[in-house]
Amino acid sequence: MSKKLKLVVSTGAGISAESGIKTFRDADGLWENYNVMEVASHDGYLRNPELIHKFYNDRRADLGKAEPNAAHRILKDLEKYYDVYVITQNVDDLHERAGSSNITHLHGELTKVRAVDDESKVFKIGYDVRTTPETVIEGHKVRPHIVFFQEAVPMIEPATELVAEADIFVIIGTSLAVYPAAGLLNYVRRGVPVYYIDPAPSRVPAGVTVIRKTATEGMAELQRILLAGIADKQ
Ligand code: APR
């Protein structure tokens, strides 16, 4: 079997929409009902940590009731034919639960908290634990293991390296509104095919093949395109 091609996928909230998880900027999205600077920014955390803990406790509880959808599962299935690397802006664990092998979280993980005084100490707490600014784990006060606005994105470097090695790059369900994640596309080598699956893309970068469908329908179509491509080569 010849060496597998590297399929690098960048996912946003849209891939989890069909699992019942709200996106941010769609109608009735999270940022319609919450002030992002109050519940997802570093300044907001310093001003009102109690509100931030509650916001992430509620989202974590919702996640416990959600399941991966067909789009997450197709990404796992494609591992039979490609080296698949998922780079996600999502903080849900639906890629993990669908079984994807290589996942890079750019914006953190809902199911984890970390020590306030030592960010290398990360604790998995599952879905139902509700934390407060006073919660202590192993002697450390904790905070959500989330990258707030105004904070660095530590995983962006490894993510850009993955995109630079991609043989195929796929973007699924992101408005491409938030950097540095939205800039990953700039690291794709010339000539590498780029697909963008989104029912209502807010902007379409040049040279990108758009599949104007939901994540589940779009991934089914992309799977057909990719597997036909493999069949042609055999
Ligand atoms: N399938 C695929 N895409 C969908 C679906 C669906 N069923 N429903 C909506 N979308 C698309 C929307 O058209 C939009 O382009 O998903 C995208 C969601 O965009 P956003 O809500 O902006 O989410 P995202 O791009 O992931 O936000 C990036 O912003 O607030 C921060 O940290 C937060 O990680 C988040 C970042």
Domain boundaries in the chain? 1-20+68-107+152-234, 22-65+110-146
pLDDT at 58: 96
Task: Tell me what the mean pLDDT of segment 207-232 comes to.
Answer: 95
Matching fold, domains 1-20+68-107+152-234 and 22-65+110-146: no
What confidence score (pLDDT) does residue 1 get?
58
Interval 44-63 mean pLDDT:
97
CATH code for the structural domain at 1-20+68-107+152-234: 3.40.50.1220
Pocket test for ligand 1, best of 21, 178, 203, 204 (most atoms within 8 A of CB): 178
* Residue 48 token pair: 């009102």
Distances, alpha carbon 197 to alpha carbons 81, 168, 201, in Å = 20, 14, 8
pTM: 0.97
CA atoms of 48 and 183, how far apart (whole Å): 31
Predicted confidence (pLDDT) at residue 133 exceeds the cutoff of 90 = yes
For residue 99, the model assigns a pLDDT of 98
Name the pLDDT band for 153 (thresholds 50, 70, 90): very high
Q: Which residues line ligand 1 (CB under 6 A)?
A: 12-14, 17-18, 23-26, 29, 89, 107, 173-175, 177-178, 198-202, 214-215
State residue 214 phi and psi, 5-degree precision.
-70, 170
Catalytic residues, by residue number, are 107
pLDDT tens digits, 164-205: 999 999 999 999 999 999 999 999 999 999 999 999 999 999
Residue 230's pLDDT is: 84
Looking at residue 199, what is its pLDDT? Answer: 98
pLDDT at 233 over 90: no
2 pLDDT above the threshold of 80: no
Please work out, in degrees rounded to the nearest 5, the angle formed at the alpha carbon of residue 72 by the alpha carbons of 67 and 78: 145
Give bridge partners of residue 140 from the DSSP assignment.
137
Q: What is the pLDDT of residues 77-114, one digit of tens each?
A: 999 999 999 999 999 999 999 999 999 999 999 999 99
Fold of 22-65+110-146: SIR2/SIRT2 'Small Domain' (3.30.1600)
